[in-house]
Amino acid sequence: MGGQLGTFYRSLLGDPVRSIGSGYWEFGLTGGLRLGIFRPQPDQMERFQGATGGFCLCLEVMDLDQAIALVSDRGATLAGPVRIASHGREIDAIDPAGNRLILYEPQEPRKLAKS
């Protein structure tokens, strides 16, 4: 994962634990989970028509204001004001490649399941 997009996600998630070519990256998360981010191949693009950057990533955060400052500092652009949704406060941000992120702070913090 290179360039500005790679720098952005590595600064948020750390170094990928696995990558395949220049189109697939896997990040290790707590609890043994892995998050895969991929760039569709040309023959897969029809599945992603209408999406500006190809995907939308929803990130639950403990402190929305702190998360807004973090992604802004790393190069994301905020796409509107903070909204109040049924599950809590949220905001859209756009990563350096035009992919939409939704940062949300739940009304009531959830306990993470143990792996």
pLDDT reported for residue 115? 46
For residue range 73-84, what is the model confidence (pLDDT) as tens digits? Answer: 999 999 999 999
pLDDT reported for residue 1? 60
**Domains along the sequence of the chain with CATH:** 3-106 (3.10.180.10)
For residue range 19-55, what is the model confidence (pLDDT) as tens digits? Answer: 777 777 888 877 676 787 777 677 867 766 655 555 5
* The 18-20 sheet, strands edge to edge: 18-20, 24-28, 34-38
Model-level pTM?
Answer: 0.68
- Cα separation values, 56 from 82, 95, 98, 99, 115, Å: 17, 10, 10, 6, 26
For residue range 4-18, what is the model confidence (pLDDT) as tens digits? Answer: 887 888 888 888 877
The answer on pLDDT for 111 being more than 90 is no
